[in-house]
Amino acid sequence: MPKPKKQSMVTTTSKIKKKQRDELLASFGVREFFVEGNITIDKRTCKGVECKLCIKACPTNALFWRTGEVGIVEELCVYCGACVLNCIVDNCIIVVRKRENGETETFSKPKAFIMLAHSISAKKRHERVKAAFPTLERILKM
Ligand code: SF4
Ligand code: SF4
């Protein structure tokens, strides 16, 4: 049965890649939060040598300067979005990432990240209030 063999080879290769990636990221003290992701940089709109802010912001050195443009080491990108947050050109860097629950997020502007941070803290506040006062009845009894 040749098909299952091929499948198991693909699984082994991706396991090896994952192990290598984990080792690389461990050297930066960075943990993987997203099951998969993708990053692209639009070289037509990038300000390049005048800017390089994304390179300075990247916590894993996934971005680097190479002959006239920003290069990406995909193996080191954890899709954190620090580069998008620092980029001076909207829609120049696009980060797409998938969470463990299957939720996919796309960011290409700093504003999108600020809104995400705001929505997460609002959600956490709501959860804290709900934990302290699970029912309306309980609040009214206080
Ligand atoms: S998403 Fe994060 S890890 Fe990836 S290149 Fe941008 S700053 Fe670096
Ligand atoms: S921050 Fe944006 S504009 Fe600046 S170098 Fe990086 S990709 Fe280009």
Q: 49 CB under 6 A from ligand 2?
A: no
Domain boundaries 2-108, corresponding CATH code = 3.30.70.20
What is residue 132's predicted lDDT score, i.e. its pLDDT?
73
Sequence-distant (≥ 6) Cβ neighbours of residue 20 within 8 angstroms: 75
* Residue 112 near residue 138 (C-beta atoms within 8 A): no
What is residue 129's predicted lDDT score, i.e. its pLDDT?
74
Q: Is the model's pLDDT at 81 over the cut of 60? A: yes
pLDDT band at 87 (very low <50, low <70, confident <90, very high): very high
What is residue 3's predicted lDDT score, i.e. its pLDDT?
55
Distance 65 CA to ligand 1 centre (A): 14
Q: What is the pTM of this model?
A: 0.76
- Which atom of ligand 2 lies closest to the CA of 70? 5
* Residue 75 near residue 20 (C-beta atoms within 8 A): yes
What is residue 118's predicted lDDT score, i.e. its pLDDT?
77
Q: Is the model's pLDDT at 86 over the cut of 70? A: yes
State mean pLDDT over 73-99.
94
State mean pLDDT over 54-63.
94
Distance 120 CA to ligand 2 centre (A): 26
- Which atom of ligand 1 lies closest to the CA of 54? 7
Q: 65: which 2 tokens?
A: 């300067």
Distance 25 CA to ligand 1 centre (A): 12
* Residue 46 near residue 105 (C-beta atoms within 8 A): no
Q: 17 CB under 6 A from ligand 2?
A: no
Question: Residue 16 CB: number of other CB atoms within 10 A?
Answer: 10
Question: Quick one: what percent of the chain has pLDDT higher than 70?
Answer: 87
